[in-house]
Amino acid sequence: MDRRQLLHLLLLSPALCLADNALPAKSNNNDNTLGGVLKPYMQIGDFADDKYRVFMFLSFNCPYCKETWKGMGDWGKTLPNPFKFVYVPLSFGDKRLDLASNAFYVVRDLAPQKLESILEIAFTKAGNIRSWQEWVEILQRLGLPKQSIHTALNKPATSKRIERGRLLAKRYRLNVTPHFGIGGKYATNAGYTNGDYQLLVKLLNALVSEIIQS
């Protein structure tokens, strides 16, 4: 079975009927239907700057993100070049989550090989850490110099990454976490697969393949 056939089967699978509370946000067009069958994803446009990216939008107080970020990241490592899997933490206006996201972006700048370590810590502790100084101490224990931490936090590039995360959340019509943006064209989440993450991974594989072949 080729990749397009897999995508076609996923589109028509009766297993993808959604519960009422898992329906995608309504749109003014019919981009989430195909011949009367609800698609298990949204078409969000054609943003060339995202073509070789798969984004995982997450929140550090989301239990489903906590359960799935590592497995989805491992899947992301299997993506063919030049695709990259990118975590995008969001705060939704919560100061403690803002601090955790700042720590994430500092590590991304200074030591991207330690992103899994900071994600593990953030999902465990973010709700209880109320000051940036506490995060600085945690980052120092990860081996990052104090001055470098402050420099990285105040870099224009860090502010741009945080702002881009917000832009991407709008672009990919985020209304639940975890949520996935694929190749500047598609968005989906486990609500479209009745919470079945194995089926979600198959769908993501098919959408990535669709981007490659487009």
DSSP string, 160-192: HHHHHHHHHHHHTT--SSSEEEETTTEEE-GGG
Identify the pLDDT of residue 93. Answer: 83
Identify the pLDDT of residue 114. Answer: 98
Confidence of residue 37 (pLDDT cuts 50, 70, 90): very low
Both tokens of 7, joined, read: 């995508």
Confidence of residue 31 (pLDDT cuts 50, 70, 90): low
- The residue extents of the domains of the chain are 3-17+33-213
Q: What is the pTM (predicted TM-score) of this model?
A: 0.84
pLDDT digits (tens, 9 = 90+) for 113-172: 999 999 999 999 999 999 999 999 999 999 999 999 999 999 999 999 999 999 999 999
Question: Which long-range CB contacts under 8 A does 2-7 form with residues at least 24 apart?
Answer: 3/205, 3/206, 3/209, 3/210, 3/212, 3/213, 4/209, 4/210, 4/213, 6/202, 6/205, 6/206, 6/209, 7/206, 7/207, 7/209, 7/210
- The answer to whether residue 18 scores a pLDDT higher than 50 is no
Which CATH code for domain 3-17+33-213? Answer: 3.40.30.10
H/E element, 37 = strand 37-38
pLDDT digits (tens, 9 = 90+) for 38-91: 589 999 999 999 999 999 999 999 999 999 999 999 999 999 999 999 999 998
What are the CA-CA distances from residue 145 to residues 1, 118, 136 (Å)?
51, 15, 9
